[in-house]
Each structure stands twice: as C-alpha cells, then as structure tokens.
Amino acid sequence: MECETRDPVSRWWQRGVIYQIYPRSFADTNGDGVGDLPGIIARLDYLEWLGVDAIWLSPIYPSPMADFGYDITDYTDVHPLFGTLKDFDDLVTSAHRRGMKVIMDLVPNHTSEHHPWFVSSRASRQSPKRDWYIWRDAGPDGGPPNNWISNFGGSAWTLDKHTGQYYYHAYLKEQPDLNWRHQDVQSAIHDVMRFWLDRGVDGFRVDVIWHLIKDDQFRHNPPNPDYQPGEWPYRQLLATYTTDRPEVHDIIAGMRAVMNYYDDRLLIGEVYLPIERLVTYYGTAESGCHLPFNFQLIAVPWRADAVAAAVDAYESALPSHGWPNWVLGNHDKPRIAARIGPAQARVAAMLLLTLRGTPTLYYGDELGMEGVAIPTHLAQDPWEHRQPGLGLGRDPSRTPMQWNRSPHAGFTRGIPWLPLSPSFRTVNVDTERMNSTSLLTLHRRLIALRRAEPALNTGAYHRIPGTDDIMMFVRQAGASRFLIALNFSSKPAALSWSGTRYRGTIVISTALNREGERFEDGITLRPDEGIVSIVSDET
C-alpha cells in the first residue's frame, strides 16, 4: 500500500515527536515524593538531548486526586503539589527557548465533585448551574435512571439524596460528567482553553473526547454479545448511547474554532474506537482533531502480520487531510516492554519512530521501564481499589522515572509516591546514556535520523511484502529512500526479494555491529532485529 503526504507544507506536529510526561512520576524537587513542575524544568536538558519536539503533561490542575488529577476543581490554576502558575510559565518559556512545544491535558468531560460548578449544581434543583451536569430522576424501579455503567465499575449514576436525583459519571462518582449540550458549559471550557493558549500553550490532548455527548433520550445500552466473563466489566454493555454520539463532532468543531484563532496549535483527542470510527474524529480539515490518538499498536497482537495489517488498515482509512499518529503506551496501559519483552521493545521503538505519522512516546519507555508489581497495600489507582485483582490497575505503568542508580533513582530525596522498579540500577538514564547500544541510545539515534531525513518524517509510506515474522516498508521523499525491516520473532529470519530488489546499506540496527553492512539479494535479520537502511538502488 502507498501513502503520500498530501500537504506540501508540514507542521511542527507532523515532523516532530511528542513525549508524554506523567508529572507525579517524572522528577521531584522538594522531597515530598511527588514529581513537580520545577522537576520537569530541571530535566528539559535531557529531553532536548533525547531530541523530542513537544511534551504533553498529564493534568497539573488543582484536584483532590481521586483520579490523580483527572478530577479537576479549578481549570485555570496549578495544583500546589506541582508548583505555581509562575512555575508553569517558566516551564513554557524554558521549553520554547529550546524549540520545544508544550501540550496540556484538557479534561472537559467531567470535573471533580468539589469543583464550584458541581457544588452549586448539586445544591438545589433550582441552581443556575443545575443543568451544567447530567441530572435525572430515578428509573421506574426506583433505582438508577438506566443501565449505564461506569468505566471503573458499578452504575454510572449516583443518587444525590439531598435533591433526590441521580447524576451521571462515566468514571468515579467523584467525577461528575458535564452536560456539553449546555451552551454555557461550552463557553466556559472555551474560556479555559483561551486562558492556556494565551499563556503560550501549543496544544491540548483532550481527555475522553469521544465521551463528551451522551444520548439525549437516555436509552439503555445494549448487551455486548462478545463479552467474556473475567474481562473488564465495563465491556458487558456496548457504549452505544454513552459514547461516539454524532453530535460530538459539533462540540469538537467548537473547540477547533477556538484553536484556529491562534497560530499553529495542536488538538489531540483521546479516542478508543475501532479504526473506521476513529478516523471520523479527523472531522473536516478545519473542524476536527488534528490527531485523534491512534492506539492500534497498543491493541494489536504483537506479530508481524497483525501489526502490518493494522498499519495498512489505518493508513487506508485516513481521510485525505488526515495526518497519522502512533502510540505504544500511556499512563492507562501496560508498558510496551512489559507487554512484549525487552528484546521486542527495541523493534517496537524502531517501528514507532519510522512509521509515517507523529509518534507519542511515554516517559520511561525510552529506557525500557517495565511494569512494576505494586503490593496491594501500596496500590494507589482508584480503579485497582474498585475492581481489584482483574489486572486493570494502572499503577504498574506510573512508577517514578529512573534517572540514575542512586537510592531513589534520582527521582526524589524523599519516599516516592509509588515504588520504584527493582530494575532501576541498570535501567536508568545515566547508565543508558553512556552505553552506545542501550535502548535509550537507540531512541536518540532514531529520533535524530527521523528529524534529519524528510523521508522518515513526512515522507511517503509504502509497505512491501514480508514474511510471517518480518514486516517491511519503505519511506521515501524525492530520491531519498529508506527501507525498514523488522523481525518480530526471536529466531533469525531470512528474506529474499520477490519482485522489486532493493540494494542498500544498514544505517541503524537494533542488533550489534551491523551498521554499514550492505545488502543486495535479500536480508537475514538476527533474532529480534530491526534495521533502518538507505536504499541506494532498486532493480
């Protein structure tokens, strides 16, 4: 399959690499065991050295932390745990000085139950803010208004005894959903966006954007015929009437209109949907998300054929104005190295950084941080508390960044809020930086090559036939062509050309001592090896 970049003028977010920071876990400067904004500022040198173009910060707003910042009490301030607005401004200035962009997490689907808007809304049925949230009378049986369930378990409706009605919350009861059908809610969040855009923020990653509008008739969600006992209980029902409603695209267009007023800002939407639904979130060229997050690589079985098929399916489904993007992990999902092991994590890094489309890299994945088993008594994630033992808890992917071999890995001089991975003495920035074959060095080299070579950032993508174990594709801009071959297995894999023959030189390999090697009649990849090669000729 052949995919070209249609827009001749590429934007920073098309060429660049985004790096997700989970601020609690990145770098602590005051010894309270929780990362903070001064910590991020102090580590910008590292991010610049790594070569990333933008940082996305998970929420830093004032919050009771029922869901670690995804429950906000003030959209236009910074939680004292993380610092001050002044620290934030300093961060933006320091990042911009380095040519790095700053993307904030925007959480418009719900607030904290302690947000003044909800405090007012729940105070009485006559409150001017009553309809800013979703209130309903009890159902005919005297219970919740309908069968909608929370992502974190149980009914998505909580009875407010004082006013005798239920309010809807897609997540915790401490996170009531805003009513986006209300014009004042739209205006209030647009104002929040302007507040940050005026401060120089370069974009937003919008939390659960596909949830923003719910069915106006409050119909029951249908049962999911594919549900398997033991899996995530939320999947018992199809989210037909609670997510991905047609009107959501008008809401996104409203947000885009706010952003379009500013120069070159980026709107990313968090969307967990199948490809054909996901791509509708590109909207039209001026009305949709620039990048609806594409989580195919998180969901797909880690096999050459499955990954190649997912990439092709996504590329073919993109609208003509849609720029692709790729994600291997985030603060909600098992880490990539935990999922596929350290050897394949190198192959995954090469895939992420050579595909056509903006890569988003989750902090610590560049080191090969793995999932950390958290003892029950130290579990922090509310999801783990509500639905224990199902493997749904997200703490294992949120442990402190591993900077060096010192007692708390250089993350804090206090007690880290989550335990460190036992691996930190070898898997850390200082150690890996010194090692020319580490995963960190591999990331840095791939990022540098990607930045230097138009073929690898905005160039065309053209997949070529591989084998059961090898995925291959070409990236091309003008006469510059790179062939990428990835061995998804732990066995050597030989490949001879069928049809077009490629003659080239290996530029980067995940294996040792291969760079500079030339090939002509085919390639034999070592176990778990990926290569990026310059193709000098094609016959």
Catalytic residues: 207, 270
Nearer to ligand NOJ, 160 or 270 (CB): 270
- Which among Ca ion, ligand NOJ, none contacts residue 67 (Cβ within 5 to 8 A by kind)? ligand NOJ
In this chain, which of 77, 250, 305, 332 binds ligand NOJ, going by CB under 6 A? 332
Among residues 86, 90, 19, the alpha carbon closest in space to that of 48 is found at 19
Q: Is 171 in the site for ligand NOJ (CB under 6 A)?
A: yes
With a CB cutoff of 8 Å and minimum separation 6, the contacts of 123 are none
Nearer to ligand NOJ, 203 or 466 (CB): 203
| Shortest Cβ 318–Ca ion spacing (Å) | 41
In this chain, which of 22, 26, 61, 70 binds ligand NOJ, going by CB under 6 A? 70
Report the C-alpha gap between 167 and 435 in whole angstroms. 54
Q: Work out whether the CA dihedral 50, 405, 352, 348 comes out positive or negative.
A: positive
| Shortest Cβ 94–ligand NOJ spacing (Å) | 26
In this chain, which of 28, 36, 67, 365 binds ligand NOJ, going by CB under 6 A? 67
Report the C-alpha gap between 428 and 135 in whole angstroms. 49
The structure tokens listed for 250 are: 């008008």
Q: Are strands 101-106 and 54-57 parallel, antiparallel or unpaired?
A: parallel
Residue whose pair of structure tokens reads 């939407």 in the numeric block: 269
* Torsion-angle region of 409 (φ positive above 0: left; ψ -120 to 50: alpha; else: beta): left
| Shortest Cβ 332–ligand NOJ spacing (Å) | 5
Q: Is 32 in the site for ligand NOJ (CB under 6 A)?
A: no
Q: Which residues bind Ca ion (CB under 5 A)?
A: 28, 30, 32, 34, 36
The structure tokens listed for 270 are: 């968090």
Report the C-alpha gap between 290 and 264 in whole angstroms. 11
- Which among ligand NOJ, Ca ion, none contacts residue 30 (Cβ within 5 to 8 A by kind)? Ca ion
Q: Is 384 in the site for ligand NOJ (CB under 6 A)?
A: no
- Which among ligand NOJ, Ca ion, none contacts residue 177 (Cβ within 5 to 8 A by kind)? none
| Shortest Cβ 20–ligand NOJ spacing (Å) | 10
- Which among ligand NOJ, Ca ion, none contacts residue 171 (Cβ within 5 to 8 A by kind)? ligand NOJ
Beta-ladder partners of 470: 487
- Which among Ca ion, ligand NOJ, none contacts residue 332 (Cβ within 5 to 8 A by kind)? ligand NOJ
Nearer to ligand NOJ, 173 or 331 (CB): 331
With a CB cutoff of 8 Å and minimum separation 6, the contacts of 59 are 68, 69, 70, 72, 105, 107
In this chain, which of 81, 208, 409, 523 binds ligand NOJ, going by CB under 6 A? 208
Length of the chain: 539
Report the C-alpha gap between 256 and 261 in whole angstroms. 9
Helices (H), 16-115: 37-42, 44-50, 85-97
Q: Which residues bind ligand NOJ (CB under 6 A)?
A: 67, 70, 107, 171, 207-208, 270, 331-332
